[in-house]
Amino acid sequence: MSLSRLSITSFRNILTADLNAGSGLNLIYGKNGSGKTSILEAIFFLGMGRSFRSHLSQRVINTDADNLVLFAQLEEDDEQTKIGLRRHRNGDIEVKINGEKVKKLSVLAETIPIQVITPESFSLLFEGPKARRQFIDWGAFHSDPQFYQAWVNTRRILKQRNQLLRNQASYSQIQFWDKELVRYAEQVTKIRNHYVDSLNALLKGIIKEFLPLVDINVSFTRGWDSKTEFSQLLENQYPRDLSTGHTVSGPHKADLRLRVGNLPAQDALSRGQLKLLVCALRIAQGKLLKQQLNKNSIYLVDDLPSELDAQHRQLLLKQLTETGAQIFVTAIEPSAIVDSLTCPPDRMFHVEHGQVTFIE
């Protein structure tokens, strides 16, 4: 899977841009504020229907425009897919895949598996469990077709259960919902657990290359203690749930534990090392998807050179290119990338005041 053409209209400071991307490494360079991150953000927006920078999607629409338009052509083996997206300021979004209207945005994510590594996204991974859960769920979603519906159902029932708790419902009223909740929660947990196991197998080798001297441990925690059955837990914690007005533990509290020895990774590693750990996690995810479904991810790496020394830039670029996936990297100076590569980038683009130019 690779993106051969990308056209952008009224996205951030980019009024119009047309990129014919290469299937390997695409280098986007330019000064601060030129629009580099915005290009990656536009690709992400096409894949997810939202931004990785702002939860307010209207902020990505150019200040002088009413709507933004994105178009991409994807290539997979000999098959072409055309994706068009229009987002209005009032929140309306229209998506077409090969000319047909799409209702569910999850279809987009299935069509373009995107891996994004930005300074913000990697900080997030060490701040709270939400981003780490999203990381696991990205993989669970792509690797098991049952996951999405099971997770949607789990969340729906949890919402209903919490509503009942706020209304001081009796345990027998809640028990009716719990039966269904347990069934979906167990399904979700099983898929997540299996996913992290498979990921770990690949991750070890990559971490060894990036951080050979550090003993990093990555494990899955399901969101409640490991000894109690979920149905039993729901019964046990009912009085507490009732007093707090929500379900205290469960699959909505699942996490990916990243530890160095006895310490959380963020307390034991430098920023550069944390960045490498995140890159290792994302690369392992992409490799696993390739192994499991023969599907290539698209990598978006914003400001790749920052916080990394020359040796680690080289290692990271080597691992990324070895995945065989299409990669978009940004940098201020092109030499910071080119000098760390063994062969020249597939394509280079220069960005200046929102204008994108292909460099021969």
Please give the annotated binding residues for ATP, written as ranges: 30-37
CB-count burial class (<10 Å; 0-12, 13-18, 19+) for 6: buried
By CB under 6 A, the residues from 57 to 86 that bind ligand ADP are 59, 61-63
Binds 181, which of ligand ADP, Mg ion, none (CB < 5 to 8 A, cut-off by type)?
Answer: none
Binds 130, which of Mg ion, ligand ADP, none (CB < 5 to 8 A, cut-off by type)?
Answer: none
Nearest-approach distance from CB 207 to ligand ADP, in angstroms: 29
Which of 9, 26, 38, 247 forms a contact with ligand ADP (CB under 6 A)?
Answer: 38
Binds 12, which of ligand ADP, Mg ion, none (CB < 5 to 8 A, cut-off by type)?
Answer: ligand ADP
Closest to Mg ion by CB, 162 vs 306, is: 306
By CB under 5 A, the residues from 8 to 47 that bind Mg ion are 37
Nearest-approach distance from CB 109 to Mg ion, in angstroms: 23
Closest to Mg ion by CB, 93 vs 124, is: 124
Do the beta carbons of residue 180 and residue 155 sit within 8 Å? no
Binds 226, which of ligand ADP, Mg ion, none (CB < 5 to 8 A, cut-off by type)?
Answer: none
Closest to Mg ion by CB, 37 vs 319, is: 37
Residues placed in the known binding site? 30-37
H or E stretch covering 289: helix 271-293
Binds 13, which of ligand ADP, Mg ion, none (CB < 5 to 8 A, cut-off by type)?
Answer: ligand ADP
Closest to ligand ADP by CB, 61 vs 207, is: 61
Closest of 135, 109, 6, 110 to residue 48, by C-alpha: 109
User: How many degrees, rounded to 5, is the angle at CA 116 between CA 133 and CA 262?
Assistant: 45
Per-position DSSP letters for 67-95, written without gaps between them: EEEEEEEEEETTEEEEEEEEEETTS-EEE
Residue 134: other Cβ atoms inside 10 A: 14
Site for ligand ADP (CB under 6 A): how many residues?
Answer: 14
Task: Write phi, then psi, for 177 (nearest 5 degrees).
Answer: -75, -35
Rounded Cα–Cα distance for residues 133 and 58 (Å): 26
Residue 12 near ligand ADP by CB under 6 A = yes
Which of 2, 36, 251, 356 forms a contact with ligand ADP (CB under 6 A)?
Answer: 36
Closest to ligand ADP by CB, 62 vs 319, is: 62
Task: Name every residue whose Cβ is closer than 8 Å to that of residue 327 and which is 6 or more positions away in sequence.
Answer: 24, 25, 26, 298, 299, 301, 320, 321
Contact characters 127-146, Mg ion, x per CB under 5 A: --------------------
Closest to ligand ADP by CB, 39 vs 206, is: 39
Number of helices (H), then strands (E), belonging to the chain: the values are 12, 15
Closest to ligand ADP by CB, 12 vs 313, is: 12
Nearest-approach distance from CB 41 to ligand ADP, in angstroms: 7
Task: Write phi, then psi, for 4 (nearest 5 degrees).
Answer: -90, -30
Rounded Cα–Cα distance for residues 226 and 237 (Å): 15
Rounded Cα–Cα distance for residues 189 and 191 (Å): 5
Q: Which residue stretch of 31-39, 177-185, 215-223, 317-325 sits at the interface with ligand ADP (rule: CB under 6 A)?
A: 31-39
Task: Name every residue whose Cβ is closer than 8 Å to that of residue 34 and which is 6 or more positions away in sequence.
Answer: 351, 352, 353, 354
Which of 9, 37, 51, 296 forms a contact with ligand ADP (CB under 6 A)?
Answer: 37
Task: Name every residue whose Cβ is closer than 8 Å to that of residue 236 and which is 6 or more positions away in sequence.
Answer: 228
Judged by the rule CB under 6 A, the positions of this chain that interact with ligand ADP are: 12-13, 30, 32-38, 59, 61-63
